[in-house]
Amino acid sequence: MNKSSGLLLNLLVGIAGAYIGGFLSGAVGLSATGIVGELIVATIGAVVLLWVIGRLKKA
């Protein structure tokens, strides 16, 4: 997201990204254990979501 995005929007993207990361890791057969694993999965999900949003804005 860019600098003009609000705090609420950034939080929603992060939460949605965590769900997407959990779904994607389960789809490929990976399981995250512990807080570090869950943070990694959530971060990957948020990055994927931001990438998709960026691609949709360019289209």
pLDDT-above-90 percentage for the chain:
7
Q: How many alpha carbons fall within 13 Å on the CB side of residue 3?
A: 0
| pTM score | 0.75
Whether 21 maps to a domain, the answer reads yes
Give DSSP secondary structure letters for 2-21. Answer: -TTS-HHHHHHHHHHHHHHH
Residues 22-45 have a mean pLDDT of: 88
Would the pLDDT of 2 be above 70? no
Domain with 16, as residue range(s), is: 7-58
Query: How many domains are contained in the chain?
Result: 1
Would the pLDDT of 17 be above 80? yes
pLDDT for position 16: 92
DSSP-derived secondary structure letter, 27: H
Whether 1 maps to a domain, the answer reads no
Whether 2 maps to a domain, the answer reads no
Whether 41 maps to a domain, the answer reads yes
Whether 54 maps to a domain, the answer reads yes
pLDDT for position 4: 66
Whether 36 maps to a domain, the answer reads yes
